[in-house]
Amino acid sequence: MQFEKIKGLIDAPFTPMHPDGSINLDIIPAYAALLARNGLKGVFINGSSGEGYMLTEEERKQLAEAWMKAAANVKTTKGEAFKVIVHVGSTCVKQSFRLARHAQEIGAWGIGAMATPFPKIGRVEELVKYCEEIACGAPALPFYFYHIPAFNGAFLSMLDFLKAAEERIPNLAGIKYTFESLYEYNRCRRYKDGKFDMLHGQDETILPCLAMGGAQGGIGGTTNYNGLCLTGIIEAWEAGNLERARELQNFSQDVIDVICHFRGNIVGGKRIMKLIGLDLGPNRTPFQNVTDEEEARLRQELEAINFFSRCNK
């Protein structure tokens, strides 16, 4: 099957929550509009940034439906349709199948799944079988494997995965590659003259992937609040302005350095959304929420790098 390859950056949104921890669907239209006007091409919902594994199946469906409604009312800065990709991975493959089927029923652009964290997947054959049973729930949609071994321990060769899966998963579109090996990323990108859509998944290394030639799309987490900078890297590269691209990449790393002081993007990044005017609420247990004291320090560290003059508006 042939699918459109993503060009530009897709955002991995946080799941908005009320103070009591219930999901907040009402804020999603404003969230979608913010992302669209800051250069993002769509969203990859219910993934790691969205605390997907801590949501109920019904909540995940409600979020998918809310994002689909919101996406219908916004366009990208280039006037394109705003894409909604639904992460459907879970520890229960039958639940993942149902979530995939639901995504297709509501008209989502695509689906994706990371490897289950339990039981840990230790062989490529196990991973292919897992993805095969999920992807067939939405046979008309592009399926992306979400490679993030730091979350699930599936430190497997992605090139071997592509070779083993391409004949068994007809709707396999590619991989969201969130791992440090740019060598392996590029091997997968070059496989069969670029057959698969290799979505770059680390905001801190966009420029190196562009420099290797061929990287066109990515899915990011810090794009929630720093999308202007990250999309700017691509724009500067395409314009031949390497110095500007380097400056933007370095700034994006400065931002990541800050969130690493506050338990990373899922916790610290979600609180940044409040600081830029879109309060998405708390994180779910077992995440430890940012305290008021930490929030003050977070603001100070961001001010020190002039973040608020450059962030998403």
**Active site members:** 146, 176
- Could you tell me which of 115, 66, 119 has the C-alpha nearest to residue 87? 115
The CA R_g of the chain, rounded to the nearest whole Å, is 18
DSSP labels for 166-224? TTT-TTEEEEEE-SS-HHHHHHHHHTTTT-SEEEE--GGGHHHHHHTS---EEEESTHH
Q: Are 164 and 189 in contact, with CB atoms under 8 Å apart?
A: no
Q: Which two tokens stand for residue 265?
A: 């993007």
CA pseudo-torsion sign 186, 187, 190, 194? negative
Tokens 């003059």 found at: 309
Residue where the block lists tokens 């790691």: 48
- Nearest in space to 221 (alpha carbons), one of 49, 76, 45: 49
Of 137, 135, 201, 189, the residue nearest 162 (C-alpha): 189
Q: Are 27 and 16 in contact (CB under 8 A)?
A: yes
Q: Are 43 and 107 in contact (CB under 8 A)?
A: no
* Phi, then psi, of 220 in degrees rounded to 5: -125, 160
Residue 32's region, left for phi above 0, alpha for psi from -120 to 50, else beta, is alpha
**Distance from CA of residue 289 to its chain's centroid?**
21
**Measuring CA to CA, which residue among 148, 85, 76 is closest to residue 117?**
148
Q: CB of 25 within 8 A of CB of 63?
A: yes
Cis peptide before 170 (omega within 30 of 0): no
